[in-house]
Structure 1
Amino acid sequence: MSDPKKHSIAVKNLTVGYKDKIVAENINFSMGEGQLCAIVGVNGIGKSTLLRTLGKLQPKLSGEITINGKALELHSSFELAKTLSFVLTEQPASKNLTVQELIALGRQPYTNWIGTLTSQDKQQVEESLSSFLLTELRHNKCHELSDGQLQRVLIARAMAQDTPLILLDEPTTHLDLYHKVQILKLLQQLAHSKQKTIIFTTHEIDLAIQLCDKILILDDNENPWGTPSELIEQKHFEQLFPSEMVQFDAKTASFKVNK
């Protein structure tokens, strides 16, 4: 692997799991700024466990995770709040807040001890509202929103936190196809226009192939990582699911059901 200091995040020989239970091992990848990456794989393979480990929500079992050339475990909580933001599948406890209030919580790492928003903080909140098409919903309570709208608010809060690295666990769960595409295109735009490093877990492999710069496939073996076209060429998607039921069509870069 090349010099990790040139990467926003670098992972080497990583093993994740719980105490003495290994969930996934032999994970290696590195990502620079301005890239969108999906973590894909079958259910129970360890996608969320890996993401939570990258975000220091749970300890790694072995291996290395470096962010901006510094080992993850050496980052203080305060440093991490300015380095990475996390969007989990669990619903926020603060659904009684308005859209604008919830997004403004993303500015907490930067506000003074009484939490006063500066003009820069307010500008960041405005930009997040606008980028995620939420300006007209700013005064709505979060409990009044649809699943798709709430998901946009949670990602907008992460954008307002303005961290170089954003991790999202299943950001398109419970959404229809239009809103799945909308969320992933917004993430792609955020990565490319704001030079963010964005990593998310997903079951939407067809969409990830079309929209991501890089993909990590957890397959309980090699855990290949690369551009979608590289992974297609190396036939890694064809080995994801039992072939008697589902087959990957390399020409259309999509899965087909065997009838």
Structure 2
Amino acid sequence: MSECKYKRVMLKLSGEAMAGKNGFGIDFEVAKRIATEIKELVDMGVQVGAVIGAGNIWRGREGGGMDRATADYMGMLATCINALALQNSLEDLGIETRVQSAIEMKEIAEPYIRRRAIRHLEKGRVVIFAAGSGNPYFTTDTAAALRAAEIEAECILLAKKVDGVYDKDPNKFDDAIKFDTLDYKQVIELGLTVMDSTAITLCMDNDIPIIVFALDEAGNIRKAATGEEYGTIIDNFAKEAAEDCQ
């Protein structure tokens, strides 16, 4: 099995990934597969943090005339449901985990404390960061970038439905062109919908590479982390790091 240069990574999962083909709710077979792939990284000695969205349960913008802040808080709570499902799947495989929530709910999760999160990672536990950043008007993409900076993750593994970043939607346009590498400014200037602009800027300011890959096939998380399958790398120095990882 390939070894990875990265010792600490942040895995960003969309809520839709947890729904599988159902499109809504949680497909526990999918959760088990994701957990199995995370276990591969842990077995390689990689420290893994994870941020998960809530699109399989709730999206704030679907709140109609609802107050935006209220809708966003509902989305944060939905991420906690996904976090607990992923935690359960990981622990079924014997992986120690901790869920840390940006919104206090001490009966089901630890409060987010940076130093405690780092200590858990150092002990080989997977830390799942729930409730986004705890603030409305910010996405879970931004939360992933923020937590990655705080725990000093060496890269963000950004799992998507497609195998990288394209100049337009490859599901709608046959002539869509895939990028192998991009720098942060290109993502912003070209208006590419990889992560929101706040998240991209956070990564740029903190020199955190983003590796975009498809989650649809088993083993892709490991491949992205080891450089076996690049997908798209965002960061001026990420390509060199991935080559060293092979």
Please say whether Structure 1 and Structure 2 have the same fold, judged by a TM-score greater than 0.5. Answer: no
> Computing the radius of gyration over CA atoms, which structure comes out larger, 1 or 2?
1
TM-score, structure 2 as length reference: 0.34
Larger RCO of the pair (alpha carbons < 8 Å, separation 6+)? 1
Higher strand share: 1
Higher helix share: 2
TM-score, structure 1 as length reference: 0.33
